[in-house]
Structure 1
Amino acid sequence: MKQIDKRSLWTKEFVVLSSINFFLIFMYLLLNSIITLYALNELGTTTGQAGLVAGIFIIGALMGRLVTGMLLSKVNGQSLLRFGLLFFALTMALYILDFGFTFFAFTRLLNGFAMGIATTIIGTIVVLTIPEERSSEGIGYFAVSTALATGIGPFVGLFLMPRTGFTTIFLFCLLLAVLNVMCGWFLSVPSKKTNNPTPYLKWTHVLERTALPISLIILVMTFCFSSILSYISLFAIERNLITAASYFFIVYTLTVLVSRPVTGRLMDQRGPDVVMYPAFLLSAVGLFLLSSATDAVVFLFASLLIGLGFGNLSSISQTMAVKAVSREGKARATATFLIFFDIGNGLGPVLLGLMLPVIGYSVMYVLLGIIVLLTILFYRRLSLR
């Protein structure tokens, strides 16, 4: 196995894995920004069914993470990476076929399953390539690939949709998925593998107990943030802000790119609390502002606050989950964090989609802002332990 220079952060492996991760998240969020509109307009679904189409992808990703968590200690990481990327490309091709709502929902489930495998193994391998003394900084830079995709993916989706149509977007994503397979297939990556048989499965083989508290917090936060990922386009149409909506995630991304290197160093030097408490407050204020936004300025300022808040909270939380365990437990800690991340992202569109016809978008964002504020109390109990 190729040895990685322990003092080096920007290795070939780190850069390529970060790039693959970017395109995976880019495709997921590009599709997620238009998928509810596709379900409503092309498949003739209800709002609840559109939410299911969005959320079932994350349910599939969760299943993929669970399976990967069980296999990480027994199967070579490079083999898992190749399988995940190839399966993602194959399931991406199914989007082009039009066999109705049930088939499309099943396609989303399988595509999410492949995504869960690929992103979990990538997140685990990246941790092994980062020097221990630069873990917060390294994970922060890796998380920038997700942050970039979070902004560019929805922007491209909302930009292409009225200009090209859904089929062209699906073909574009398929091309990117194939390129990802080509990039990852010949990459030499570090991995850990044990041939010791496991007589029976226990939850501790998949989840890391020490990472559970911070993972529960990220579950709540991603539940709240999923309201933006899945419904911001519909909310913008209601408020006549559809042009501003395409720039919402660009502002979010630029904010995260500027702030994350700073917050990563702050955590390394002064601990996580100096970042986490302001991030909770900024996220809540951003949701409150979003609920009342009627013009582009307030709408995009809410994006900036949410970028400073959730955009940094997500990366700092992942760093906390990984740093709390030994090097041998980092794979399980990464899988645990991402599993709970996916639960929040998966439950959000489904449950909120059922509530939206009753409460509307403004009330939804106010309620989610209150939930974020209440989460501070849970985090305080965690930080005092």
Structure 2
Amino acid sequence: MSVDTHSDVPTGQLPTVVERKVPGPAHSAGPARLLTPTFALAWVVNFLQYLTFYMLVTTMALYAVKSFAASDAAGGFASSAFVVGATVARLFSGYLVDALGRRRMLLISLVVVAIACALYLPAANLPVLIVVRLVHGFGYAFASTALMTIAQSVIPDSRRGEGTGYFALGTTLSTAIGPALGLFLVGSFNYTWLFWTTLITAVLGMMLGFFLREPLAKREAQAEAEHIAQRRRFSFRDIAHPAVVPIGCFMLLVGICYAGVITYLNAYAENRGVTTGAGLFFVAYAVAMLIMRLVLGKMQDQRGDNVVVYLGLICFAVALGILAAANQDWQVVVAGAMTGLGYGTLMPAAQAIAVNAVPAHKLGTGISTLLLLTDVGVGLGPVFLGLLLSATGFGAMYTVLAVIVVLAALLYHAVHGRHPHAKRGRTVVE
């Protein structure tokens, strides 16, 4: 028996989570199936999308400076233009995914991404490069929203945290492989090799996307939801679903802290003389995340959201505290592992919370709301942190970020953690 308590609620209050009554042993042959062809294929396509992103994000600023004699500020914008395009797309990607269909929007966006990757090769000046980055970010936002929505639609409710964690492993792997691969291609060959590699990766993702289909029952339910969505007008709720805004604001704060890590890690390493440790930072991040995701997703399903989220917040605060004081390579590597247990835990945990806060036909809007607010934190964070860094230095900046994590913990408790459904698992054995 299943009782759905989802409903649209005012901002600032999350609805009671859906609880599924799981039949006892006499009625069930085992746990609901998680690894399905749809889930596996969505995982691969998602991994390829993020791999393309990470190969380029670490090389674009320097490419603009070297190839087009751009200033450091202009080169930085050439890199961050991707995030600008993605953030704009997030404003209505959820609505269009819900209204026009997940697979349809996925295929369109994968074609846009492939075209954008092809245009890196002939881009002859900085303005053209910036436009290509904007278009790439735009297509990427739609593709990631559609892929996550499709994957979430086939994850059993009783294994939501576990399934979301496994899906997030693709992003974790791309975080470890993408930057290293991009720097290797540029260092050992040239930027042309980099752009051809990203184009091949994007085309492969596009081709696999054509084979990605939801199960028949899911397609029928989606068709009905599309029909309902097409009859109503676009509204603010289609940009930011009220039920997800609270946990999204929590992730906005977390995103600011993560931006302080990924944006300034190289400059921090040169300043502190820990370049070797910085080179291994994301390797440690990925390894710690890969190991713990095998455990934390199940723990979230069985023991509730709080135990996982508070663990992630503690680990992230510790990581930032270590960075504030570190002056040896091994300390930076430890900080990388703790960041993996921190931010790498919080993002999939928040996705599971967001999915359970919205009805099935609003999955796209719910996911895009969370990603939009996280992107705002990651995108705008460096602007304010740059001013803080100039005034205080790296030690003080990372100390302030650790304090922001503590504030994020207080916000989480206020909007979600204090509620009973955050303290218990998603399954109740009858």
TM-score relative to the length of structure 1: 0.91
| Structure 1 residue aligned with 2:92 | 67
SS at structure 2 position matched to 1:72: helix
Residues 362 and 96 (structure 1 numbering): CA distance in 2 closer, same or farther, change over 3 Å? farther
| Structure 2 residue aligned with 1:234 | 267
- The CA deviation string for residues 69-109 of structure 1, in whole angstroms up to 9 with x for no partner, is 22123313222111111100111122223433322222211
Decide which of 285, 307, 319 is 2:318's aligned counterpart: 285
1:116 equivalent to 2:141? Answer yes
**Partner Cα separation in structure 2 for residue 102 and residue 351 of structure 1:** 25
| Range with bigger deviation, 61-70 or 178-187 | 61-70
1:25 equivalent to 2:50? Answer yes
| Structure 1 residue aligned with 2:20 | none
1:384 equivalent to 2:418? Answer yes
Cα offset, 1:59, TM superposition: 1.8
On the 8 A contact 1:36/1:230 being kept in 2, the answer is: no
| Structure 1 residue aligned with 2:359 | 326
**Partner Cα separation in structure 2 for residue 266 and residue 257 of structure 1:** 15
**Partner Cα separation in structure 2 for residue 348 and residue 51 of structure 1:** 14
Cα offset, 1:329, TM superposition: 2.9
| Structure 2 residue aligned with 1:3 | none
Cα offset, 1:353, TM superposition: 4.6
| Structure 1 residue aligned with 2:204 | 179
SS at structure 1 position matched to 2:98: coil
1:368 equivalent to 2:401? Answer yes
1:195 equivalent to 2:227? Answer yes
Decide which of 343, 348, 369 is 1:310's aligned counterpart: 343
- The CA deviation string for residues 96-149 of structure 1, in whole angstroms up to 9 with x for no partner, is 234333222222111100100100000101111112221111111111111111
Residues 243 and 163 (structure 1 numbering): CA distance in 2 closer, same or farther, change over 3 Å? farther
| Range with bigger deviation, 330-339 or 183-192 | 183-192
More helix by share: 1
Query: One-letter code of the match for 1:229?
Result: I
On the 8 A contact 1:54/1:349 being kept in 2, the answer is: no
Cα offset, 1:325, TM superposition: 2.5
Decide which of 130, 135, 151 is 1:105's aligned counterpart: 130
On the 8 A contact 2:275/2:329 being kept in 1, the answer is: no
1:143 equivalent to 2:168? Answer yes
Query: One-letter code of the match for 2:316?
Result: S
| Range with bigger deviation, 318-327 or 350-359 | 350-359
Aligned-residue identity in percent: 32
Query: One-letter code of the match for 1:112?
Result: G
On the 8 A contact 1:241/1:295 being kept in 2, the answer is: yes
Residues 234 and 34 (structure 1 numbering): CA distance in 2 closer, same or farther, change over 3 Å? farther
Residues 295 and 38 (structure 1 numbering): CA distance in 2 closer, same or farther, change over 3 Å? farther
Cα offset, 1:330, TM superposition: 2.5
1:82-101 superposed matches below 5 A: 82-101=107-126
1:260-275 superposed matches below 5 A: 260-275=293-308
| Structure 2 residue aligned with 1:162 | 187
On the 8 A contact 1:21/1:145 being kept in 2, the answer is: yes
- Consecutive unaligned residues of structure 2, counting only runs of 5 or more, are 1-30, 420-430
Cα offset, 1:300, TM superposition: 0.5
Cα offset, 1:159, TM superposition: 3.4
On the 8 A contact 1:50/1:353 being kept in 2, the answer is: no
- The CA deviation string for residues 148-194 of structure 1, in whole angstroms up to 9 with x for no partner, is 11222122233333222333212211110111111112322344132
| Structure 2 residue aligned with 1:347 | 380
Query: One-letter code of the match for 1:114?
Result: G
| Range with bigger deviation, 345-354 or 219-228 | 345-354
How many residues are paired up?
Answer: 380
| Structure 2 residue aligned with 1:252 | 285
- The CA deviation string for residues 292-322 of structure 1, in whole angstroms up to 9 with x for no partner, is 3332201101101111111101111111111
**Partner Cα separation in structure 2 for residue 299 and residue 42 of structure 1:** 32
| Range with bigger deviation, 311-320 or 162-171 | 162-171
Structure showing greater Rg: 2
| Range with bigger deviation, 69-78 or 229-238 | 229-238
**Partner Cα separation in structure 1 for residue 321 and residue 240 of structure 2:** 34
On the 8 A contact 1:208/1:333 being kept in 2, the answer is: yes
**Partner Cα separation in structure 2 for residue 206 and residue 277 of structure 1:** 28
**Partner Cα separation in structure 1 for residue 312 and residue 173 of structure 2:** 19
Residues 120 and 159 (structure 1 numbering): CA distance in 2 closer, same or farther, change over 3 Å? same
Structural RMSD (CA): 2.2
- The CA deviation string for residues 306-348 of structure 1, in whole angstroms up to 9 with x for no partner, is 1111110111111111112232332321121111122222223
